[in-house]
Amino acid sequence: MLEINNNVKNLENKHWFSLFTTHKNMYTNKCEQLANEYEKLDEYLYKYHYRLKQGYKVVHFALRTIITIFGDITFKRRRYKYWNQKSGKFEYVCLLDKEIVLLSKQRIYFDVQFKVLSLLGDGKRYRDVLDALNHCYISKASISSILNKYDIAEYFQLAEKETKTRIDVKNKDLYIQLDETFLATLDQKVKQDQRIRLVTFHTGHKEKNYKNARRELENKRGHFLMLKVGKRINTMDYRDLLIKELQKHYVNINYDKIIVCGDGDAWIREIANSFGNVRYILDGYHAIKKLKQTAFNIIFENRKVTLNSWIKLYKDGKIIKN
């Protein structure tokens, strides 16, 4: 009987070891793939004509290790020397770090930081976070450091950096992109649910500098409002707040050219109606999601081809979802 139990235990240990090895190999492969992609991007930036035009000269290669959601990633990238006209001296920079928004002394990448904040916001304990991210090999001190780094107000006001001069938006469409989320916070060790309304103002997308560049919003500014769950937000008061924020950041606003964007929630439509003669559209993500749902419900042949043509028409501005 004892021999049988030992055999079962050995089989169980082999099973868990095999499963552990499989997961470890999966994360290792992901890390290697991501490291290769970073090095390919570094090679692309090296060959990109903008680098030569701006006078960036390669000094040497440098290794960088960061902790991502898949684990530790070590990659090689070029370090450049260039003349900074503002400071009047030579400075050094890694263009890859700038491209992937990696700070100079940053060890833990943003995907891990945001995952930590998300888990803590769901009411998880430090121990739960460490268990969920055990392949990242972070510590309790790392979690505390992330929490201390991100003051909630500062975190949501990153896009709200005030400038000395307001932006002239004469004859330009001005987008008001609205969203709402919920966050669990701790106040004197008491859990409280917070309701957060986020708004992004912008004038559309910037033109791409090169083919595979990310689409960036132009003249972007942001604002947030955080209240306890259950507290009512008056529609007209919130509209007045949005107008005040618009006037703080922009001049020559044509209120007939305002476009309100959102995910289709009733409160966003109410805000759009409160402005009067403004357009209301679904934001890009939810518009494409609606197109996919519609295609699934009414198209039964060549669905993928039809859907891709719809998405292309939408991105070209030939479909507006009201």
The whole-number pLDDT of residue 60 equals: 92
- pLDDT above 60: residue 9: no
- pLDDT tier, 49 (very low <50, low <70, confident <90, very high otherwise): low
Q: Which two tokens stand for residue 294?
A: 């519609």
Give the span between the Cα atoms of 228 and 149, in whole angstroms.
23
pLDDT of 77: 92
Nearest to 172 by CA among 280, 259, 245: 259
pLDDT band for position 18 (50/70/90)?
Answer: low
**pLDDT on residue 150:** 66
For residue 75, the model assigns a pLDDT of 92
- pLDDT of 76 strictly over 90: yes
- CA pair distance 163, 152, nearest whole angstrom: 22
pLDDT of residue 21: 56
Provide the mean pLDDT of the chain. 77
- Element (DSSP H or E) covering residue 61: strand 57-68
What is the per-residue pLDDT for 33?
A: 86
Which residues, other chains included, contact 70 with Cβ-Cβ below 8 Å and sequence gap of 6+? 27, 30, 31, 34, 135
The terminus-to-terminus CA distance of the chain in angstroms comes to: 72
Going from N- to C-terminal start, the domains of the chain cover 16-152, 155-268, 283-322
Percent of the chain predicted with pLDDT > 70: 77
Token digits of residue 255: 């209120």
Predicted TM-score (pTM) of this structure: 0.47
Q: What is the pLDDT of residues 258-270, one digit of tens each?
A: 889 888 888 888 8
Return the DSSP state at 1. Answer: -
What does the pLDDT average to over 216-241? Answer: 85
Q: 79-83, 98-102, 213-217, 281-285: which has the minimum mean pLDDT?
A: 213-217
- Tens-digit pLDDT profile for residues 162-189: 445 788 988 888 999 888 887 776 666 6
Of 166 and 208, the structure prediction assigns the larger pLDDT to 166
Alpha-carbon span 261 to 217, nearest angstrom: 14
Tokens of 53: 């035009």
Comparing 204 with 296, the larger pLDDT belongs to 204
Q: Tell me which of 322 and 82 has the higher pLDDT.
A: 82
Looking at residue 283, its amino acid is D
Residue 176 CB coordination number (10 Å):
24
| pLDDT of 61 above 60 | yes
Is pLDDT of 153 > 70? no
pLDDT range class, residue 160, cuts 50, 70, 90:
very low
Q: Which residues contact 158 (CB under 8 A, 6 or more apart)?
A: 222
Give the SS3 label for residue 280. Answer: strand
Can you spell out the DSSP letters for 164-185?
SSPEE-TT--EEEEEEEEEEEE
**pLDDT at res. 316:** 64
- Longest distance between any two alpha carbons in the chain, whole Å: 87
Sign of CA dihedral 68, 70, 75, 77: negative
